[in-house]
Amino acid sequence: MTQAVIFDLDGTLLDTRDDLGAALNDVLQRHGMAQVAPAVYSPAISNGVKALLEVGFGDKLCEFDFETLKQEVLDYYAQNLAVHSHCFTGVESLLEALAQKGIKTGIMTNKPTFLTLPLLAQIEALSDIEVVVCGDTLSVAKPHPEPLLLVAEKLGVDPEHCIYVGDAARDITAAKAAGMRSAAALWGFIPSLKEAQSWSADLDLTNPESLFSHI
């Protein structure tokens, strides 16, 4: 019996691609590099700033100081967290349905706290999420299971009664290691449908609302 659903953030609950892409393109422009289109940067978003810089700078990345570029991306993004970001279609109705059924909700994201909490504060639809654990809450992050186990503990739910929904391979790995049911968010920033299906999640979901039929 499912008593709690835990979500990844970027690419699962929130479509943050254009704000993160804007941060990347701002840095690219500052350094005289060509800007990249959403189709190029979107698959990299769930893998963090390093992956964004790699797709933006390509083989030129080694010519720059990586830490400086990373900080420039973070500085821009921190000032522009929710210009374009919004819940994916179906997320709000899913959260409402879960609440009506008394199923608890939480977030476990590898995004750092200093970006996660201010972003969530600007997204009204996510204001009732009960527990939020970030990438720097503990000394380990996904794919390590410990952050997911912490969310379950804070929610007061045994891991076996939790579903974790995410759009990256490490999300599925973490869920399985934590003893939770895993669900792949195929609407998110997946590399490809074929690769996402190869993760062997317990559930492959084409849209957020489809989760409710598995509870």
Structural tokens at position 75: 């500085």
d(C-alpha 192, C-alpha 154), whole Å: 34
33/213 Cα distance (integer angstroms): 46
At 126, the amino acid letter reads L
Instruction: List, in sequence order, the alpha helices (H) in the chain.
Output: 17-30, 38-41, 48-57, 66-79, 91-100, 113-121, 146-155, 169-177, 193-197
CA atoms in the 13 A half-sphere facing the CB of 168? 21
3-state secondary structure of 178: coil
> Which of 8, 15, 167, 171 is the catalytic position?
8
Does the annotation count 8 as an active-site position? Answer: yes
Beta strands (DSSP E) in 40-102 are 86-87
Around 64, how many Cα atoms within 13 Å sit in the side-chain half-sphere?
22
Token pair recorded at residue 155: 């929610």
Q: Residue 32 is encoded by which pair of tokens? A: 């005289």
Kindly report the number of other CB atoms within 10 A of residue 71's CB atom.
13
Q: Tell me, what amino acid is at 48?
A: G
Residues assigned a catalytic role:
8
